[in-house]
Structures are given as C-alpha cells and as structure tokens.
Amino acid sequence: MEKIKMTTPLVEMDGDEMTRILWKMIKDELILPFVDLKTEYYDLGLPNRDATADKVTMDAALANKKYGVSVKCATITPNAQRMSEYNLHEMWKSPNGTIRAILDGTVFRAPILVDGISPVVKTWKKPITIARHAYGDVYKATELRTGEGKAELVFTDRDGNETRKTIYDFECPGVLTGQYNKDSSISSFARACFNFALDTKQDLWFSAKDTIAKVYDGTFKQIFAEIYENEYRARFEEAGITYFYTLIDDAVARVIRSEGGFIWACKNYDGDVMSDMISTAFGSLAMMTSVLVSPDGKFEYEAAHGTVTRHYYRYLEGEKPSTNPMATIFAWTGALRKRGELDGSSALCRFASRMEAACIATIEGGTMTKDLALLWRGQTPTVVNSEEFLRAVRATFETLEQ
Ligand code: NAP
Ligand code: MG
C-alpha cells in the first residue's frame, strides 16, 4: 500500500511518562506504516521544558498558531514533588494553560462510544460534548474572611470615578469573594462554541443562571445571543443545527433525558464539574478525547487524561502495563483528519476515520485493555497490554483495508 502524502506539517507535541511511551508505539504501529508523516516536532517532555526554560512550550503554541493543527501528548504539570523528582530549575506552569492562553481557546471534551460499554444513563446513544469556558470566575476570585462590618463592591474607572454597592453588613464573621470575567474572553468562548458546532454539525446548548446572577450570567447570555444573531444564525440554519440558551438546572434535567449528540457549553465551574460527571457516566476517562479550539479556527487535539504515572512506574520496573491508548490514538486521528480537511486531502481524512473504526471494531470484537474489561458487558473479553492492543488494532485495520 502506498503511503498517504501530507502537504502541511502537523505540529507534534511530545509529552511525559506512560503517554510518552504510548506516543511512540502509536506512531510506529498505526501511523508511520500508512502515512508519509510530516510533523514539526516539539518535545514538551518535562526534562526538555526544564532545559529550555519552558521556551519549547511557547514555540509549540506559536507553531500551532502558524500551521493551525497540532496533536499533543499528556504532560506533567509540575508540583513540589515533581520539582525534586526531576530536579527542576523552576515550577513550570501547566503547558496546557500556556497553550490555551496563547490560542485563546476553548476545550471540547467528547467520549468515544463502543457497543458493549453502555453509559450509566440508559437514554444516551450519542456522545455529549462539553465545552468549558476555561477563564475567570471562581478560579481567579479574590477571597476574604471578614469580621463584623460592611462589605462593599467598589469599581474605580480610569477617570477615578467610583461605583459602590453594599454586599453585606456583617453582624458576625463571614466570608467574601470577588469574581470577574471579561467580555473579550466570553466572546472568544462563544465564537469557539459556534464554530465547533458548525464544524461537527451538532446542536449547541449554553446554560448559566441569569435569573439569579442577572448582570454576571446575564452578560454571558447576552453576548452569546448577540454573536449568534449577528454572525452565526444564517450558517446554523443552513447546516440544520440549532443554538439555544437555558438555565443550568433545566439543562441538567434535559441532558439526563436526552439521547446525546450535542455540545453543552458551560461556564468555568459548571464545566469543571459536569465534564467529570459526563466522562464517568459514559464509562472511562481513558475514552475521553479533548480538543482545544481557538476563535480564529486553530485546533489542538489531545487525550483528556494525564500521563498515567502509576502505570509508568510499573513500566519502569519491567512490567508491560495495560494502559488504554484509545484517547491518544483519537488525538492523532482527529488531528490528521482536520489537517486533511484543511489541505483538501480526502485520503488523509479517510485514513483517520478508518483507523478510528478499526479501534472501535477491535474493542467490540472483545480485545481491550484492563480498564475497559471492567466495564464490558459482552462475552468474556481478551485483556491485553498496550502493545498487544495496538498490534490488534493494526491487524483489524489491515483486514478492513483489504
Ligand atoms: P491520570 O494520568 O489521568 O491517571 C489517573 C488514573 O486514571 C490512572 O492511575 C489510571 O488508573 C486511570 N487512567 C488514566 N488514563 C488511563 C488510560 N489511558 N488507561 C488506563 N487507565 C487510565 O491522572 P493523574 O495520575 O492525576 O496525573 C498524572 C500526571 O498527569 C500529573 O503529573 C498531571 O500533572 C498530568 N496531567 C496532565 C494532563 C494533560 O496533559 N492534559 C491532564 C491531567 C493530568 P489506575 O491506576 O487505577 O489504573
Ligand atoms: Mg475537574
């Protein structure tokens, strides 16, 4: 079989620990034999981030801005324990945070569904994609413990004019928090959601609590509505998809009764909580894909899980762990398909979809990693390690291609 040619390079961001091991295995077994792979490689593994004073993360994000599509391996976000483990010069920031800030992007998470692993919610037939506004609100809040006394909200504009509102006149000690968000960030979030809905031809739901937070959540609702009317309504109608806003509690009730197959845009905190609920209810974090989409149409694909440290330590002791590579494979296929779409390469798009089909067929045929075997409802599964799973996928792919 002749290898598929690529015109524009994919930005490849390598990572850490078990996922770094999987990364190479996936490339060797499932990509390089079939695709004449063109990538611009950035090593975001922690040792290289430390050696380059994290410049490599910045460079990778800028390359993503330039070429439009990247695929990223999971990376360690350093903490105190990692500082000593890797003898780091500094506690480098989360690469995902850096990349998200540079691309001004929104993260969309969607589960991979297979027959034999049924969601906890019986009505769910199609994936539910969560879009989380990863900026501001409680994550950037300023907090205080108070004594007795008056708490006020004070805003001073550039000319020195003050606006004051009493929050509460405390007759006993209590707690206080100040939160903010920016119109520019909310607009970027809205555009990323509308674009992603058009891109994946799915309805978009957005939920907040504007009946209570009339100004704060009301602004989110209004910005979404204005951008939709002015920039997207016509394209949504043409694509046969819908946008609607509803209260967060109503959204929760509707989501549980739904069939799935839509995007649920959430404010930062709601998205944090709901994405864990959705991924657990669909089965496993190891089957959750993630894509960062910028308002100007740049894409970064990755798995939603981390570097699977516990499996890596066992790997270092000579074990061959049964780590599930599905989400990382789908990061690669997602990125290759998007590259194919942008470059007009139907061969690349087809390859990506066929490889995903081979992955799903392999699991549905009863061959899977340990994490899935625990959720499996079919005949007794064949439990394999990561390497064996990738070989089985390759064999399925080659059979399907014959
Ligand atoms: P994790 O790597 O997602 O793993 C947590 C546990 O989930 C694992 O121990 C494993 O459970 C299970 N798991 C996750 N992915 C799996 C897979 N593909 N196959 C099978 N089981 C899987 O989270 P963590 O241990 O909290 O974090 C480890 C490192 O990853 C941290 O340094 C963190 O900073 C980083 N991280 C990076 C990203 C990113 O780059 N996007 C995201 C999150 C975390 P069992 O051990 O029970 O089998
Ligand atoms: Mg969370």
Tokens read off for 311: 């499996």
Nearest ligand atom owner, CA of 271:
2
Pocket flag, ligand 1, residue 322 (CB < 6 Å): no
How many other C-beta atoms lie within 10 A of the C-beta of residue 245? 18
> What integer pLDDT is reported at residue 104 of this predicted model?
81
How far is C-alpha 363 from the chain's CA centre? 23
In 3D space, the residue among 130, 34, 21 whose CA is nearest the CA of residue 401 turns out to be 34
Give the CB-side neighbour count of residue 17, counting CA atoms within 13 A.
Answer: 20
* Mean pLDDT of the region 308-319: 97
**pLDDT tens-digit series, residues 175-204:** 999 999 999 999 999 999 999 999 999 999
Looking at per-residue confidence, does 325 or 280 come out higher?
A: 325
Instruction: Tell me how far the alpha carbon of residue 47 lies from the centroid of ligand 1, in angstroms.
Output: 19
Q: Which pLDDT score, from 0 to 100, does residue 139 have? A: 82
Judge if the beta carbon of residue 96 lies within 6 A of ligand 1. yes
Which atom of ligand 1 lies closest to the CA of 72?
40
CA 214 to each of CA 205, 208, 211, 252: distance values in angstroms, whole numbers, following the listed order: 19, 10, 6, 20
The average confidence (pLDDT) of the chain is: 95
- d(C-alpha 121, C-alpha 119), whole Å: 5
Q: Is residue 305 in contact with ligand 1, taking CB distance under 6 Å?
A: yes
Indicate if ligand 1 lies below 6 Å from the C-beta of 22: no
CB of 328 within 8 A of CB of 303?
yes
pLDDT digits (tens, 9 = 90+) for 30-45: 999 999 999 999 999 9
Q: Give me the phi and psi of 59, to 5 degrees please.
A: -60, -40
Assess whether the C-beta atom of 310 lies below 6 angstroms from ligand 1: yes
Beta pairing class for 142-146 and 382-383:
unpaired
pLDDT at 101: 83
Length of the chain: 402
Mean pLDDT of 228-238: 97
CA of 359 to the centre of ligand 2 (A): 27
Regarding the beta carbon of 64 and ligand 1, being less than 6 Å apart is answered no
Q: Are 87 and 47 in contact (CB under 8 A)?
A: no
DSSP β-ladder status, 142-146 and 174-178: antiparallel
Query: Of 116-125, 205-214, 352-361, where does mean pLDDT reach its minimum?
Result: 116-125
| Contact partners, residue 384, CB within 8 Å, separation at least 6 | 322, 367, 368, 369, 392
| In the predicted structure, residue 255 carries a pLDDT above the cut 80 | yes
| Ligand 1 atom showing the smallest separation from residue 324 Cα | 19
Orientation of helix 326-343 relative to helix 346-364, angle to 10°: 160
Q: Is the CB of 309 under 6 A from ligand 1?
A: yes
Ligand 1 atom 5 nearest Cα: 308
- Distance from Cα 94 to the centre of ligand 2, integer Å: 15
The whole-angstrom distance between residue 101's C-alpha and the CA centroid of its chain comes to: 14
User: How many CA atoms are closer than 13 Å to the CA of 110, on its beta-carbon side?
Assistant: 23
Q: Which atom of ligand 1 lies at the shortest distance from residue 94's CA?
A: 34
For the CA of 15, the nearest ligand:
1
Whether 100 is in the pocket of ligand 1, judged by its Cβ within 6 Å, is no
Kindly state if the Cβ of 307 falls inside 6 Å of ligand 1. Answer: yes
The predicted model gives 378-401 an average pLDDT of 95
Placement of tokens 């009946």 in the chain? 211
Tell me the percentage of the chain whose pLDDT exceeds 70: 100
Residue 103: pLDDT band by 50, 70, 90 thresholds?
A: confident
pLDDT per residue as tens digits for the range 121-148: 999 999 999 999 988 888 888 999 999 9
Q: pLDDT confidence of 401, banded at 50, 70, 90?
A: confident
Our answer on whether the CB atom of 308 is closer than 6 Å to any ligand 1 atom is yes
Judged by its nearest atom, the ligand closest to the C-alpha of residue 279 is 2
The residue whose C-alpha atom lies closest to atom 6 belonging to ligand 1 is: 308
Is pLDDT above 80 for 325?
A: yes
Q: State the pLDDT confidence band at 100, using cuts at 50, 70 and 90.
A: confident
pLDDT in the model for residue 335: 98
Ligand 1 neighbourhood includes 76 CB (under 6 angstroms):
yes
Among 131, 129, 124, residue whose Cα is nearest residue 281: 124
Q: Which two tokens stand for residue 337?
A: 């398909």
User: In 3D, which of 339, 325, 334, 260 has the Cα closest to residue 292?
Assistant: 334
**pLDDT per residue as tens digits for the range 57-84:** 999 999 999 999 999 999 999 999 999 9
